[in-house]
Amino acid sequence: MDLQALKNKYDIIGNDPALNEALETAVKFAPTGLSVLIQGESGVGKENVARIIHQYSSRRQASFFVVNCGALPKELVNSELFGHVKGSFTGAVDTRKGYFEEADGGTLFLDEIAELPLESQALLLRVLQSGEYRKVGSNKVEHTDVRIVAATNVHLYEAVKRGKFREDLYFRLSAAQIRIPALRERKGDIYLLFRKFTSDFSEVNGMCKISLRPDAIRLLEQYRWPGNIRQLQGFTQALTAQVSQKVTPTLQRIELSALDLTPLMPREQGEPIPMLYEGPQEQRQSAFSADERQAIMKAIFDLKQEVDALKARIDRRELPPPPQPAPQEEAEWQGQEDFLPDDEPQEQPSLSIRRTEDELIRQALEKYHGNRKKAAEELGMSERTLYRKLPPEYRKK
């Protein structure tokens, strides 16, 4: 099997080993006729894998139906799946085929299968075991030859333990499983997908493609992407529309740094509270990336500066100044050090914090080719404060 040709055919981007294993497993399961359970978070591409199973099976010439179980009204689930006869309930003005009859000889992809009511799960189990079902309102037993590929974005056995999913149906489906990794587990594929999405969007709209510098790529990779590929695609398209320009003979591509990208990154509502990771010792030591450690150090530095300024006020028994209009500059990230006179000695931050601060200043100066005024505006500080904080190599320039 040519794995790359398979990816090209189904527009799958990435080289992650876990993704490759999932695709190879799908191709192996395809000709067997087994019911398959695909597990993975929302937005990872489970439907694509289901289509691969259908296309590489003996049923490829027959129909492939997609049913989102979570979108079916609970009172109509059985009618949608198995059909109904005229007069079986209010509104049943005609006899109607269900998905199992329509898909006879083909493949039925049941997405979000954990959302099926328990009664419908019992009827589904019967179809899987014997191929038999009844239309709603009918006593006639009918037969179908349908292959089931199911998908879920929840831990299905946990649903069994909570009484939300039938154990016998779980074991019937879970004999052949495929797990699709989340995007945050495929960090090496994130920028590949970004490039694909910005390239496609730019070509359609006649805009410059967006590329990222290494520090911006790291920023993109450290975000957890809870919406997975679907969220990354939407973010990339919106970013391209926001920062790109129309293509000209002299402008084909726009490059962004981490400083450019940071204010445009998605913000999660109610982000999870950090918890102690109880994994192996070697994994605990590398739980945070370099960029994550830098962000933590910056936050600690901000807090320390604010505390030091407040302590200095208390020591001098200063009262807070009267309310004044907000200054033009917002010295947000470097703390409240401007409360202190320039000639008063200040406690020096730790070396690791100082290095973090120096690196942010270097990035801003490099971005604006040494222009201190623009760098100071980027960093949210006065030009005087920037000059005082310049790394050693910039002081003689």
CA pair distance 215, 212, nearest whole angstrom = 8
**Host H or E run for residue 8:** helix 3-9
Looking at residue 326, its pLDDT comes to 43
Looking at residue 188, its pLDDT comes to 94
196: Cβ–Cβ under 8 A, 6 or more apart, which residues? 13
Q: Name all contacts of 264-269 with Cβ < 8 Å and 24+ positions apart.
A: 264/239, 265/219, 265/220, 265/223, 266/223, 266/231, 266/235, 268/224, 268/226
**Phi and psi at residue 151, to the nearest 5°:** -140, 150
DSSP 61: T
**Phi and psi at residue 149, to the nearest 5°:** -120, 115
85: Cβ–Cβ under 8 A, 6 or more apart, which residues? 92, 95, 135, 136, 137, 138
Tokens of 89: 């309930």
Nearest Cα to Cα of residue 256 among 225, 314, 212:
212
Decide: 35 and 150 in contact? Cβ < 8 Å: yes
Looking at residue 111, its pLDDT comes to 96
Among the CATH numbers 1.10.8.60, 3.40.50.970, 3.40.50.1110, 3.40.50.150, which is that of 184-264? 1.10.8.60
DSSP 310-351: HHHHHHTTPPPPPP-PPPSS---TT-SGGGS-TTS--PPPPH
Q: What is the mean pLDDT of residues 55-81?
A: 93
DSSP 82-145: H-B-TTSSTT--S-B--HHHHTTTSEEEEETGGGS-HHHHHHHHHHHHHSEE--BT----EE--
Q: Three-class SS of residue 149?
A: strand
CA pair distance 106, 67, nearest whole angstrom = 14
Banded pLDDT at 359 (limits 50, 70, 90): confident
CA pair distance 203, 188, nearest whole angstrom = 24
Range scoring the smallest mean pLDDT among 22-26, 66-70, 242-246, 366-370? 366-370
Biggest CA-to-CA distance, the chain = 94
CA pair distance 36, 27, nearest whole angstrom = 12
Beta strands in the chain (DSSP E): 36-39, 64-68, 107-111, 132-133, 142-143, 147-152, 177-179, 209-212, 253-256
Banded pLDDT at 304 (limits 50, 70, 90): low
For residues 377 and 304, which has the higher predicted lDDT (pLDDT)? 377
Q: What is the mean pLDDT of residues 300-308?
A: 62
Nearest Cα to Cα of residue 311 among 351, 343, 347:
347
Q: Could you give the angle at the alpha carbon of 312 between the alpha carbons of 307 and 317, nearest 5°?
A: 125
Looking at residue 295, its pLDDT comes to 59
pLDDT per residue as tens digits for the range 218-233: 999 999 999 999 999 9
Which fold does the domain 3-181 belong to in CATH? Rossmann fold (3.40.50)
**Phi and psi at residue 84, to the nearest 5°:** -150, 160
**Host H or E run for residue 174:** none
Looking at residue 2, its pLDDT comes to 86
Decide: 28 and 1 in contact? Cβ < 8 Å: no
Q: What is the mean pLDDT of residues 44-57?
A: 96
**Host H or E run for residue 12:** none
Banded pLDDT at 344 (limits 50, 70, 90): very low
Torsion angle, CA of 79/38/66/6, rounded to 10 degrees?
A: -160
* Residue 12, pLDDT above cutoff 50: yes
Q: What is the mean pLDDT of residues 351-363?
A: 72
- Evaluated on CA atoms 237, 240, 246, 251, the torsion sign reads negative
Torsion angle, CA of 50/53/58/62, rounded to 10 degrees?
A: 20
* Residue 347, pLDDT above cutoff 50: no
The CATH 3.40.50.300 portion of the chain extends over 3-181
Rounded mean pLDDT of the chain?
A: 82
Looking at residue 321, its pLDDT comes to 52
**Phi and psi at residue 33, to the nearest 5°:** 85, 0
Place of tokens 């946990």: 158
Range scoring the smallest mean pLDDT among 70-79, 130-139, 352-361? 352-361
The CATH 1.10.8.60 portion of the chain extends over 184-264
Give pTM, 2 decimals.
0.66
Tokens of 280: 């192996």
Looking at residue 328, its pLDDT comes to 43
